[in-house]
Amino acid sequence: MDINVTGLFTPGGDEDRDIVYLTVTNGANTYNWQWYMPLNTGMDVGSYITSQTAYIEADVTAKEAAFSTVYAADNTTDPNTIICPTIPDYYALRRAAYPPIANQVGALLSPNATPSLTDLQSQIAQVKATYPKPSWMTTNS
Protein backbone atom coordinates (compact mmCIF):
# COMPACT_ATOMS: atom_id res chain seq x y z
CA MET A 1 0.00 0.00 0.00
CA ASP A 2 1.28 3.46 -0.89
CA ILE A 3 0.20 6.48 1.20
CA ASN A 4 0.93 10.06 0.18
CA VAL A 5 0.05 13.32 1.95
CA THR A 6 -1.75 15.74 -0.35
CA GLY A 7 -2.88 18.43 2.08
CA LEU A 8 -3.66 19.56 5.61
CA PHE A 9 -6.71 21.33 7.03
CA THR A 10 -7.17 22.84 10.50
CA PRO A 11 -10.95 22.91 11.10
CA GLY A 12 -10.97 25.05 14.24
CA GLY A 13 -14.07 25.30 16.41
CA ASP A 14 -14.51 22.32 18.72
CA GLU A 15 -12.27 20.06 16.65
CA ASP A 16 -8.93 19.52 18.36
CA ARG A 17 -7.25 17.75 15.45
CA ASP A 18 -6.04 18.61 11.97
CA ILE A 19 -7.34 16.68 8.98
CA VAL A 20 -4.61 15.28 6.75
CA TYR A 21 -5.63 14.62 3.14
CA LEU A 22 -4.07 11.53 1.60
CA THR A 23 -4.05 9.40 -1.50
CA VAL A 24 -3.91 5.72 -0.69
CA THR A 25 -3.04 3.27 -3.45
CA ASN A 26 -3.72 -0.41 -2.89
CA GLY A 27 -2.98 -2.48 -5.94
CA ALA A 28 -4.82 -0.94 -8.88
CA ASN A 29 -7.11 1.13 -6.66
CA THR A 30 -6.39 4.69 -5.51
CA TYR A 31 -8.53 6.37 -2.86
CA ASN A 32 -8.78 9.93 -1.61
CA TRP A 33 -8.48 9.51 2.15
CA GLN A 34 -8.51 11.66 5.28
CA TRP A 35 -6.84 11.04 8.61
CA TYR A 36 -7.03 12.98 11.85
CA MET A 37 -3.81 14.29 13.37
CA PRO A 38 -3.89 15.48 16.99
CA LEU A 39 -2.55 18.98 17.54
CA ASN A 40 0.80 19.33 19.29
CA THR A 41 2.12 15.84 18.53
CA GLY A 42 5.62 17.24 18.17
CA MET A 43 5.80 15.49 14.79
CA ASP A 44 5.67 16.81 11.25
CA VAL A 45 2.75 15.59 9.14
CA GLY A 46 4.81 13.07 7.17
CA SER A 47 6.26 11.48 10.30
CA TYR A 48 2.84 11.30 11.93
CA ILE A 49 1.27 9.61 8.91
CA THR A 50 4.20 7.17 8.79
CA SER A 51 3.47 6.32 12.45
CA GLN A 52 -0.19 5.70 11.50
CA THR A 53 0.46 3.56 8.40
CA ALA A 54 -0.68 0.28 9.99
CA TYR A 55 -3.98 1.88 11.09
CA ILE A 56 -4.60 3.49 7.70
CA GLU A 57 -3.87 0.21 5.91
CA ALA A 58 -6.19 -1.67 8.28
CA ASP A 59 -8.96 0.90 7.72
CA VAL A 60 -8.67 0.69 3.92
CA THR A 61 -8.42 -3.12 3.98
CA ALA A 62 -11.48 -3.47 6.25
CA LYS A 63 -13.54 -1.20 4.00
CA GLU A 64 -12.40 -3.01 0.84
CA ALA A 65 -13.47 -6.29 2.48
CA ALA A 66 -16.85 -4.77 3.41
CA PHE A 67 -17.29 -3.57 -0.15
CA SER A 68 -16.41 -7.00 -1.55
CA THR A 69 -19.11 -8.54 0.65
CA VAL A 70 -21.74 -6.01 -0.47
CA TYR A 71 -20.67 -6.08 -4.10
CA ALA A 72 -20.94 -9.88 -4.19
CA ALA A 73 -24.65 -9.48 -3.46
CA ASP A 74 -25.26 -6.22 -5.36
CA ASN A 75 -22.96 -5.29 -8.23
CA THR A 76 -24.55 -1.84 -8.57
CA THR A 77 -23.09 -0.47 -5.31
CA ASP A 78 -20.67 2.41 -5.82
CA PRO A 79 -17.39 1.46 -4.12
CA ASN A 80 -16.90 5.06 -3.00
CA THR A 81 -19.91 4.75 -0.66
CA ILE A 82 -18.07 2.09 1.38
CA ILE A 83 -14.37 2.53 0.65
CA CYS A 84 -14.00 6.02 2.06
CA PRO A 85 -12.69 7.70 5.20
CA THR A 86 -14.96 7.88 8.22
CA ILE A 87 -15.60 11.58 8.88
CA PRO A 88 -16.56 12.36 11.58
CA ASP A 89 -14.96 9.40 13.27
CA TYR A 90 -15.94 7.70 16.51
CA TYR A 91 -13.77 10.15 18.47
CA ALA A 92 -15.62 13.24 17.22
CA LEU A 93 -19.01 11.59 17.63
CA ARG A 94 -18.17 10.53 21.19
CA ARG A 95 -16.81 13.95 22.09
CA ALA A 96 -20.07 15.60 20.99
CA ALA A 97 -22.21 13.09 22.92
CA TYR A 98 -20.33 12.94 26.24
CA PRO A 99 -21.85 14.75 29.24
CA PRO A 100 -20.56 18.32 29.70
CA ILE A 101 -17.14 18.51 31.34
CA ALA A 102 -18.56 20.68 34.15
CA ASN A 103 -20.92 17.84 35.10
CA GLN A 104 -18.06 15.34 35.00
CA VAL A 105 -15.84 17.46 37.25
CA GLY A 106 -18.73 18.21 39.61
CA ALA A 107 -19.51 14.52 39.97
CA LEU A 108 -15.86 13.76 40.73
CA LEU A 109 -15.56 16.49 43.34
CA SER A 110 -18.93 16.29 45.08
CA PRO A 111 -20.57 13.12 46.38
CA ASN A 112 -23.98 14.87 46.20
CA ALA A 113 -23.65 16.15 42.63
CA THR A 114 -26.47 15.83 40.14
CA PRO A 115 -25.97 13.87 37.97
CA SER A 116 -24.06 11.44 40.17
CA LEU A 117 -20.72 9.92 39.25
CA THR A 118 -22.46 6.58 38.70
CA ASP A 119 -24.97 8.22 36.35
CA LEU A 120 -22.16 9.89 34.38
CA GLN A 121 -20.21 6.65 34.14
CA SER A 122 -23.34 4.99 32.77
CA GLN A 123 -23.84 7.82 30.24
CA ILE A 124 -20.22 7.56 29.11
CA ALA A 125 -20.49 3.78 28.74
CA GLN A 126 -23.61 4.26 26.62
CA VAL A 127 -21.82 6.77 24.37
CA LYS A 128 -18.94 4.32 23.90
CA ALA A 129 -21.41 1.55 23.05
CA THR A 130 -23.22 3.82 20.58
CA TYR A 131 -19.98 4.96 18.89
CA PRO A 132 -17.57 2.03 19.25
CA LYS A 133 -13.93 2.25 18.35
CA PRO A 134 -13.32 0.50 15.01
CA SER A 135 -12.35 -3.15 15.43
CA TRP A 136 -9.09 -2.63 13.51
CA MET A 137 -7.82 -0.24 16.19
CA THR A 138 -5.88 -2.04 18.89
CA THR A 139 -5.69 0.62 21.61
CA ASN A 140 -8.05 0.70 24.57
CA SER A 141 -11.28 2.73 24.67
Q: Are residues 136 and 102 in the same domain?
A: yes
Predicted pLDDT of residue 26:
93
Same domain for 122 and 63: no
pTM given for the model = 0.73
Clarify whether residues 19 and 60 are in a common domain: yes
Same domain (yes/no): 117, 68: no
Q: By three-state DSSP, how is residue 64 classified?
A: helix
Pairing outcome for strands 2-9 and 29-38: unpaired
pLDDT, residue 138, reads 60
106 and 77 in a common domain: no
9 & 48 share domain: yes
Which of 72, 87, 102 terminates a domain? The answer is 87
Strands (DSSP E) along 10-122, which ranges?
A: 17-26, 29-38
What pLDDT was estimated at residue 113? 83
Let me know whether 105 and 137 are in one domain: yes
Range of the domain at 55: 1-87
What was the pLDDT predicted at 44? 95
Residues of the chain with pLDDT under 50: 140-141
Residues 51 and 3 in one domain: yes
The type of residue at 133 is: K
The HSE-up count of residue 79 (CA atoms within 13 Å, CB side) is 13
CB 37 within 8 A of CB 20: yes
Phi/psi for 14 (5° steps) reads -80, -15
Predicted confidence at residue 112, as pLDDT, reads: 86
Q: Which of 39, 5, 19 is CA-nearest to residue 85?
A: 19
Q: How many domains does the chain have?
A: 2
Does one domain contain both 65 and 12?
Answer: yes
pLDDT on residue 141? 44
Neighbours of 130 (CB within 10 A): 11
